[in-house]
A and B are shown apart, each in its own frame.
Chain A
């Protein structure tokens, strides 16, 4: 058990190093600041005091950047290892394939979570400084569900990285994640107004695709709505765990079948 945890820890550390060495965070942080600082400094019609629009843009950027980071981290865990053949010494350690998969998954997931946590802290500092409360309960809930979304996004891109090429993976993952995030909740209405083959396809997508829109509490955070009920939170967290587990099971199957 200790060996397993040490192996897992080493793999997680590698993923962290990968994120922070590449300075992706610095890039997205600079981009976010370049967009948000002028917005926050605006005085529309010469009046100050409105901050929801900055909060909405900031939250949108946090979601965008964190999902991009999660997808990219998940997608680049295995392909470079296969290309540079460093997977051989890794598996010859000996480290089991499932340990490698789990370690890389946890590493990518926790690295994405750490970046997102940093974004949320900055967001809370901004909101707190404008008098909207530093860490309201709904922001904590939003963070928890955001972490759930990252868990599913990393699992999805990691699974696809074992099945298709890197560029195809990035494209498919982005379509699945952002497509469901934006239109997931509207698929039933779209299906109702579609001809039969499209209706069946949309119903199938609605039933099996990961529903990223379930993790989106931006509306509640930005417009200061009440918290979500504990029961609902538990259901959504359970959904994320099930989704991630299902995707990782497929990934394990693909990794086991893969000749290295």
Chain B
């Protein structure tokens, strides 16, 4: 039997080489449909998405000093993130909108537990004092602590647009490192050429952080082009937000017609969106200015 082993091994090698050769000959259209990415993407596609989302959530936990959302809002009844001023800035995409009450309830619950006596529940008393549930945020340069987690999120799933966006926000809005934010956005846009949200974010960085209105206008115009005929809510909102910036630039140039056109389109696309209301208001103001 031992003497047969080389023969078996050579036969197995030959069979696998023949299979590989035959597979090469199969036309691409007839091959199994995979995403065509690297090995990790093929082997762990779903796991990578889950890992990426977990990393974004972990970055949020770091933002709150290591306190989990459910611990922060354990008795708030929602556990869906927090709604204080700083958190609203951090979660600016509106996914946590409407959670103001949860924040107050959580603070109230935490205060209640701090006031709880030892004998009314010794284990809970110990737990609430060992594991902090107070509300705290990373600020300024300390925000860099979120960067590795967001980096891991985008490395795991390069199509996670909100992770790219979040990383750029941390760099620009919190760390005030605008070069880093632009680098992140450039990388994110290269990985997701259709993501208007990231182009819009780059416009924000140029407009609000670098005060480079010419570059910002270019980015917002690109967003408007990219979202032409958009139907999903997210793209429509990004479009309206970009149009609001363009309207603002037009208003500065005294181009009331352009402002009116943007407002009309926004009204047609999403009449109830807050951004639309702002645009309509701006158009009214521009009209009055023109009349004067």
Bound CA–CA A49/B180 (angstroms): 14
Question: Do most interface residues of chain A lie in helix, strand or loop, or is the interface mixed?
Answer: helix
- The answer to whether B131 and A185 have CB atoms under 8 Å apart is yes
Chain B residues closer than 8 Å to A51, beta-carbon distance: 145
- The answer to whether B147 and A214 have CB atoms under 8 Å apart is no
Interface residues of B (CB under 8 A from A): 62, 65-67, 118, 122-124, 126-127, 129-132, 141, 144-152, 167, 171, 177, 180, 183-184, 187
Most buried by B among A45, A51, A232: A45
Bound CA–CA A240/B145 (angstroms): 34
Q: Could you list 12 further interchain pairs (A-B, Cβ under 8 angstroms) beyond the known A206-B123, A232-B130?
A: A45-B167, A47-B147, A47-B177, A47-B180, A49-B144, A53-B145, A53-B149, A188-B124, A211-B126, A214-B123, A214-B130, A228-B130
**A222 interface residue (CB < 8 Å to B):** yes
- Count CB-based A-B contacts (< 8 Å): 75
- The answer to whether B132 and A219 have CB atoms under 8 Å apart is yes
- The answer to whether B180 and A45 have CB atoms under 8 Å apart is yes
**A82 interface residue (CB < 8 Å to B):** no
**A199 interface residue (CB < 8 Å to B):** no
In chain A, positions 215-244 with a C-beta closer than 8 Å to chain B are 216-217, 219-220, 222-223, 225, 228-229, 232, 235-236, 239
- Residue of chain B at shortest CB distance from A141: B130
- The answer to whether A211 and B123 have CB atoms under 8 Å apart is yes
- In the complex where A45-B167, A222-B66, A223-B66 touch, is A216 in contact with B148 (Cβ < 8 A)? no
- The answer to whether A217 and B144 have CB atoms under 8 Å apart is no
Chain B residues closer than 8 Å to A232, beta-carbon distance: 126, 129-130
**A46 interface residue (CB < 8 Å to B):** yes
- The answer to whether A45 and B66 have CB atoms under 8 Å apart is no
Chain A residues closer than 8 Å to B184, beta-carbon distance: 45
- The answer to whether B144 and A50 have CB atoms under 8 Å apart is yes
Bound CA–CA A214/B148 (angstroms): 29
Question: Do most interface residues of chain B lie in helix, strand or loop, or is the interface mixed?
Answer: helix
Min C-beta distance of B232 to chain A, whole Å: 29
- In the complex where A211-B123, A223-B66 touch, is A45 in contact with B131 (Cβ < 8 A)? no
**A44 interface residue (CB < 8 Å to B):** yes
Min C-beta distance of B50 to chain A, whole Å: 19
Min C-beta distance of A8 to chain B, whole Å: 32
Chain A residues closer than 8 Å to B66, beta-carbon distance: 219, 222-223, 225
Chain A interface size, as a band, is 20 to 34
**A97 interface residue (CB < 8 Å to B):** no
Bound CA–CA A44/B67 (angstroms): 23
A-B contact pairs, 30 of them (CB 8 A): A42-B148, A44-B150, A45-B171, A46-B180, A46-B183, A47-B177, A50-B145, A50-B148, A52-B62, A52-B145, A53-B145, A53-B148, A53-B149, A185-B131, A211-B126, A214-B123, A214-B127, A216-B131, A217-B130, A219-B67, A220-B132, A223-B66, A225-B66, A225-B132, A228-B129, A228-B130, A229-B129, A235-B122, A236-B126, A236-B130
- The answer to whether B127 and A213 have CB atoms under 8 Å apart is yes
- The answer to whether B167 and A235 have CB atoms under 8 Å apart is no
- Residue of chain B at shortest CB distance from A215: B130
Chain B residues closer than 8 Å to A46, beta-carbon distance: 180, 183
Most buried by B among A47, A145, A222: A47
Bound CA–CA A125/B183 (angstroms): 33
Chain A residues closer than 8 Å to B151, beta-carbon distance: 44-45
- In the complex where A45-B167, A47-B147, A52-B62 touch, is A216 in contact with B180 (Cβ < 8 A)? no
Bound CA–CA A160/B150 (angstroms): 44
Chain B residues closer than 8 Å to A219, beta-carbon distance: 66-67, 131-132
